[in-house]
Structure 1
Amino acid sequence: MLSRRRFVSGCALASAGLAVAGSTRFALGAVPATQALQMRAIPSTGERLPVIGMGSSGSFDVGNSAAELDPLREVLRRFFAAGATLIDTAPGYGNAEAVLGRLLAELELRSRAFLATKIGATGRAAGLAQFQRSLQLLQTDKVELLQVHSLQDWKTQIEVINELKAQGKTRYTGVTHWLDSGHDELAEVVRAVKPDFLQVNYSVISRSAETRIFPIAKELGVAVLVNRAFDDGRLFARVKGKALPAWAAEAGITSWAQAFLQFALSDPAVTAVIPATGKPDRQTDNLKAGSEAVLTAAQRQSLIDLVG
């Protein structure tokens, strides 16, 4: 992210000696203390998810060196210690599935994860083969959410995903897109197949989802995951050198990243945001956004005016 480090609060953080509950034996150790994450319901079942999740595009596409993997271990430690669960990945994200699967197994954290991946293939056989490869790389026998990646061959792949759901290989179905130009087709697909989840890009400067996607999600009871909440770093470039708005402290916001994530979460259609990061301090900063109340309409407009 562009110069994001300067936006992360430098305040001293308390540490907490937490251990993973249940069957997980890996000690999380000292991690920065965070307030409890807010939870929102998945409309199709009522199951509740923490509002801050994590993407893996770019951030987990790394090699096998200690210099590359050690920060990601800490990213995961902080993520789960805060009570977060949802991690989104895909076969198209380079080494992300393999790295994520390796670290979750090594840290014995798979049982804590709400793991989402995607099928981005053409044809039934290719879709099934790709998913089997994802299971191998992720070192698991099932995932919590399986999505059609950017609507690729969606008619075929949504049938494949529904079959896999019936077999217990996934609990939820989904469809995704990451560009404003795909929103019309995404809306049509969601209306046609009514998946459990949709995933879409949304940010202070990319608000097209408000017009077509969010209303359909609310109408049909589809959970919404937000990708690109920082608009690939462009938001940080736009506020470089700018002070946070006067109301930020009152809202519990100490960084621009928190403000941007809170903007996305303040639309009632949104279930969770999934910012990707490979930096432990940024992970802590992102997670803090999930413990605060959502922005008011006036605060949302203030951000639009400041950034737009």
Structure 2
Amino acid sequence: MINKEYNRRDVLKLSGLAGLGMALSPLLSSFNFKDEILLRKIPSFNQSLPVIGLGTWQTFDVGSSMAEKTRLTEVLEEMNTLKGTVIDSSPMYGTSESVVGDLTQESDFKDDFFYATKVWTKGKDEGIGQMQNSFKRMKREQMDLMQIHNLVDWKIHVKTLRDWKEQGKIKYWGITHYTDDSHAQLEQVIKAEKPDFVQFNYSILSRHAEKSLFETVDKYNTATLINRPFETGRLFRATKGKEIPTWAKDYNINSWGQFFLKFILSNELVTCIIPGTSKPHHMIDNMMAGYGKMPDQKGREKMYNYIKSL
């Protein structure tokens, strides 16, 4: 639960954005700092995760830039303050793993996070070597979640990940992809191998996963990480300059980002969403989607129809 001593001024101060109080006022106006962030259980395991996390594709690929690292440190601080935990990375994402490792290691809350990364190569030995490097870059002795990135050589890597889980090197293992065309294969792997997690694309205007993928994860007790919740910015471009409907306030929605994220969270089979950002005030905005009332079935369809009508 958020520290009950926090108030609107504290969050602005912590974010280094006190001078932007007027700009952030709509985001904070209906926020109750005594609320708890929504948690969803990892099926079949006695652990729950906050429903909003952080993706690092492009946003954390900043190399040695101190200015960028300072800003990303603030992003992680905001995430921790608002009780987010899941950080998702990959060796595919340039220097992102190393930046995550460096910045979290320097923090006072490095063990508060849930660290997830991926294996993205072919061959057993190559996969083991790449994953070992990921441990070093992210400065972890145990990885919370290791995923097979875009199903690359998944039949080989599954065996390694099962062994590593048994040995305690990783807590969970999973599979990922980011296109509608991949959903059928993801379902096949879930049915055959029963991974702990599956990561895939899903948004208010990209609902292909509702055809059968969500039914499969429900049947096989698979946790879900959602990527591309904003469709790489397409949703923001479509709503630029347009007002949020007044009825969205019923769901504690104060921005288009929260609108899109709360639609996704209204699907109870979503465990966690991992939007990427390199900006502290966007991290605050994203995290707030995990608080307050969530849309029911009637509300989510109202949201969908409104976006379709724009």
Normalised to the residue count of structure 1, the TM-score between the two structures is 0.89
- Partner in structure 2 of residue 221 of structure 1: 221
The CA deviation string for residues 122-143 of structure 1, in whole angstroms up to 9 with x for no partner, is 1100110000000110111111
Q: How far, CA to CA, are the matches of 1:39 and 1:141 in structure 2?
A: 26
CA-atom RMSD, angstroms?
1.9
Q: How far, CA to CA, are the matches of 2:72 and 2:135 in structure 1?
A: 20
Whether the 8 Å CA contact 2:15–2:280 is kept in 1: the answer is: no
Identity of aligned residues (%): 39
Q: How far, CA to CA, are the matches of 2:247 and 2:169 in structure 1?
A: 46
- Partner in structure 2 of residue 13 of structure 1: 8
Three-state SS of the structure 2 residue aligned to 1:175 is strand
Whether the 8 Å CA contact 2:15–2:281 is kept in 1: the answer is: no
Q: Which amino acid aligns with 1:15?
A: D
Whether the 8 Å CA contact 2:250–2:293 is kept in 1: the answer is: no
- For the pair 1:116 / 2:111, whether they are aligned, the reply is no
- Partner in structure 2 of residue 25 of structure 1: none
- Partner in structure 2 of residue 241 of structure 1: 241
Q: How far, CA to CA, are the matches of 2:223 and 2:46 in structure 1?
A: 10
- For the pair 1:159 / 2:154, whether they are aligned, the reply is no
Three-state SS of the structure 1 residue aligned to 2:62 is coil
- The equivalences for 1:204-215 within 5 A come to 204-215=204-215
- For the pair 1:75 / 2:70, whether they are aligned, the reply is no
Q: How far, CA to CA, are the matches of 1:17 and 1:170 in structure 2?
A: 36
Cα displacement (A) at 1:183: 0.7
- The equivalences for 1:49-128 within 5 A come to 49-128=49-128
Whether the 8 Å CA contact 1:266–1:296 is kept in 2: the answer is: yes
- Partner in structure 1 of residue 21 of structure 2: none
Whether the 8 Å CA contact 2:15–2:74 is kept in 1: the answer is: no
- For the pair 1:175 / 2:170, whether they are aligned, the reply is no
- Partner in structure 1 of residue 22 of structure 2: none
- The equivalences for 1:267-278 within 5 A come to 267-278=267-278
Q: Which amino acid aligns with 2:192?
A: A
More helix as a share of residues: 2
- Partner in structure 2 of residue 5 of structure 1: none
Whether the 8 Å CA contact 1:53–1:86 is kept in 2: the answer is: yes
Whether the 8 Å CA contact 1:53–1:275 is kept in 2: the answer is: yes
In structure 1, stretches of 5+ residues that fail to align are 1-11, 19-27
Whether the 8 Å CA contact 1:15–1:30 is kept in 2: the answer is: no
Q: Which amino acid aligns with 1:86?
A: V
Three-state SS of the structure 2 residue aligned to 1:249 is helix
- Partner in structure 2 of residue 129 of structure 1: 129
Count of paired positions: 288
Whether the 8 Å CA contact 1:90–1:119 is kept in 2: the answer is: yes
- Partner in structure 2 of residue 22 of structure 1: none
- The equivalences for 1:130-145 within 5 A come to 130-145=130-145
Q: How far, CA to CA, are the matches of 1:122 and 1:63 in structure 2?
A: 26
Cα displacement (A) at 1:237: 0.8
Q: Which amino acid aligns with 1:216?
A: T
Three-state SS of the structure 2 residue aligned to 1:242 is coil
- The equivalences for 1:189-204 within 5 A come to 189-204=189-204
Q: How far, CA to CA, are the matches of 1:132 and 1:39 in structure 2?
A: 30
Three-state SS of the structure 2 residue aligned to 1:36 is coil
Three-state SS of the structure 2 residue aligned to 1:236 is helix
Cα displacement (A) at 1:54: 0.8
Which shifted more, 32-41 or 252-261? 32-41
Q: How far, CA to CA, are the matches of 2:251 and 2:93 in structure 1?
A: 35
Whether the 8 Å CA contact 1:89–1:118 is kept in 2: the answer is: yes
Whether the 8 Å CA contact 1:38–1:51 is kept in 2: the answer is: yes
Q: How far, CA to CA, are the matches of 2:180 and 2:120 in structure 1?
A: 19
Cα displacement (A) at 1:108: 3.6
Q: Which amino acid aligns with 1:253?
A: I
Q: How far, CA to CA, are the matches of 2:230 and 2:46 in structure 1?
A: 28
Q: Which amino acid aligns with 1:167?
A: Q
- Partner in structure 1 of residue 306 of structure 2: 306
Three-state SS of the structure 1 residue aligned to 2:55 is coil
- Partner in structure 1 of residue 256 of structure 2: 256
Cα displacement (A) at 1:305: 2.1
Change (3 A) 1:156 1:77: same
In structure 2, stretches of 5+ residues that fail to align are 1-6, 18-27
The CA deviation string for residues 183-239 of structure 1, in whole angstroms up to 9 with x for no partner, is 111111111101111111000111001112100001111111111110100000111
Change (3 A) 1:137 1:272: same
Whether the 8 Å CA contact 1:49–1:86 is kept in 2: the answer is: yes
Three-state SS of the structure 2 residue aligned to 1:49 is strand
Q: How far, CA to CA, are the matches of 1:278 and 1:169 in structure 2?
A: 29
